[in-house]
Structure 1
């Protein structure tokens, strides 16, 4: 075995072992959240508005995950939504964490929220994990090795889908009436829309074929990174609203859909926005 192949095998072993550790951490964090929900009403604070919330649980989960990453991989970079010990290092590896995607759902409904964690480098995904805590669904993928929900391998998304036959998840810019009108025109081209209030849940429902696309006018890297790894394993395309490729730290408008539906959406947005 040549030295280059040996390095590649060592890297693969390391990344697989890291993936298995991360699954354990996510499942433990899910149990912590369930205990909190069962024990007492969850207190919360507002961040940028009355609908942008953070709880003690968000902070506790992110802190707990960051502690485990730091203990095991002290040189890795970390980007978390709540900015708990975020850091940039010389390591090629970056962890992207959303401790609870769908905080408002957790507070108001005690369901439809998820823990999301991804590992990537500057130019490639390593793995993504999304745990639907109350639904007890663990979505996961290692780049190049397929995607799974619990113990079931997910099928690649079908070819030749049409937007007119699909339900899409879409988040509208309600603060901007003119821009919102353009998105509403896009809605008429789909069979219907669904709004969950949790990006990870919407994206993972594309993997389950419950939704056909996701359109968001402004999203953060931690909202979509883990789900993106999972969906790209199934043939889903991610881009900005103009159809351009996005990196793993991109923030802004996103379209995620199987290629033909993705093309229809980007083409419609190009005419409307």
Structure 2
């Protein structure tokens, strides 16, 4: 295993243990609102602190970008750890057992290692660049859907960008006519690795953040999938607008939604 991936796995498992204990004791969870429909808990903060501590022991000079703690520059600014301590915080708050820890390592702008850990199911999705993607040590691959007919798509609602709801539902209407069904799980990182494992055929969402995407994107690509923005380009880390699936599914997603998105969502 890549040395940095090994540390990422260790950190994710430690955070997962903390998260499970808190999930089993809901009275210990306190919630704050960061913005409208955007929440953080004391457990998010504690899990992120534990992850950062684990990374810093091994790599004290690396730069860290955490959803809750922000940017912590290190002497090595070219190696960045991107952390989401709980992707699916709203699920966690409500006691819905569908959330994960997401950790990615980027070196000179390229993601080299990624971990998405679902502590409730003890499912560990991992990837190192050029080494394939795994679930609990077993190789995973994207599904072989040739188009959207009968496809199962993951999606999310633009709950923090409701001004784009009109366009989003127009796209969903077009896709729903063709696809088999859709799922809205509440965790983008898990949706991406579910596409990587063939559990979902495709996924699309508006306004994701780098910590939502970074690990899942590498795992998806190492499993044979692709990710684009809404224009078919590679600006998704900046825009947060994502289409994901095997190459044929993504092509269909882009074709079916062509002309739906306003220019501001295609940049």
**Global fold match (TM > 0.5):** yes
Q: Is contact 1:173-1:179 (8 Å) kept?
A: no
TM-score with structure 2 setting the length: 0.88
User: How many residues were matched structurally?
Assistant: 256
Q: Return closer, same or farther for 1:122/1:266 CA change in 2, 3 Å cut-off.
A: farther
Q: 2:17 aligns with which of 31, 37, 52?
A: 31
**Pairing 1:62–2:66 present:** no
Do the aligned residues in 2 keep the contact of 1:200 with 1:223 (CA within 8 Å)? yes
Q: Aligned runs of 1:49-128 on 2, under 5 Å?
A: 49=36, 51-84=37-70, 86-87=72-73, 89-128=75-114
Q: 157-166 or 28-37, which moves further after superposition?
A: 157-166
Return the match for 1:168 from 153, 172, 192. 153
CA distance in 1, matches of 2:31, 2:46: 13
The structure 2 residue matched to 1:47, chosen from 20, 23, 34, is: 34
3-state SS of 2:33 partner: strand
1:68 match: secondary structure? helix
Q: Corresponding residue for 1:208?
A: 197
Question: Structure 2: any 5+ residue segments left out of the alignment?
Answer: 262-267
Cα deviation, residue 158, structure 1: 4.5
Structure 2 Cα separation of the partners of residues 161 and 262 of structure 1: 10
Task: Return structure 1 stretches of 4+ with deviation > 3 angstroms.
Answer: 88-91
Select which of 173, 179, 184 maps to 2:172: 184
Unaligned runs of at least 5 residues, structure 1: 1-14
What secondary structure does 1:139 align onto?
Answer: strand
Deviations 1:174-200 (A, max 9, x none): 623431342233332321110001101
CA deviation string 1:13-34 (max 9, x = no partner): xx81221122112111111111
Q: Which residue is equivalent to 1:255? A: 243
When residues 37 and 178 of structure 1 are mapped into structure 2, their CA distance, relative to the original with a 3 A threshold, is closer
Supply the distance in 2 between the matched residues of 1:101 and 1:214 (Cα, whole angstroms).
16
TM-score normalised by structure 1 residue count: 0.87
CA change 1:75–1:54 in 2 (3 A) is same
| Aligned residues of 2:197 and 2:223 also touching (Cα < 8 A) | no
